Amino acid sequence: MEVRQTHSIPLGYFLWIFGVTGAHRFYYGKKLTGILYFFTFGLFLVGWIVDFFLIPTMERESSRRFSPGHYDYNIAWLLLTYLGYLGIHRFYLGKWITGIIWLCTGGFFLLGYLYDFLNLNEMVSERNLL
């Protein structure tokens, strides 16, 4: 059975450039290690370097774990990363009420922005199952 790709290797490497913040790990759905990387500067750069070789495996795992569908994970992640404090990713996912709240409060005072970094994959997957 062929698994449809939900996440992108090139986008994973693009986020890896900023990987000392854990961005690529959040993208591939690895919340705990994403938080660990965020607070330890990519596991003191050692984990960040090792991840250069692990990204293809993380991509395959995320494609098996998350549901493909109408909503594109890559678009959602780009919108969150660059415009998340405005809630644009929430508008993309059809979450209009929280999108307006994010827009008026700067990503719910940035706490909602962080929440979305932890949960965006699940939000997209949930919308794709509808």
User: Which ranges constitute the DSSP H helices of the chain?
Assistant: 9-17, 23-27, 31-44, 46-65, 73-83, 88-92, 96-109, 111-129
pLDDT by residue for the chain (130 residues), tens digit each?
Answer: 567 899 999 999 999 998 788 999 999 999 999 999 989 999 999 999 999 999 999 999 999 999 999 999 999 999 999 899 999 999 999 999 999 999 999 999 989 988 999 999 999 999 999 8
Task: State the DSSP code for 76.
Answer: H
> Is 111 in contact with 118 (CB distance < 8 Å)?
no
State pTM to two decimals: 0.90
Domain definitions of the chain by residue range: 9-65, 73-129
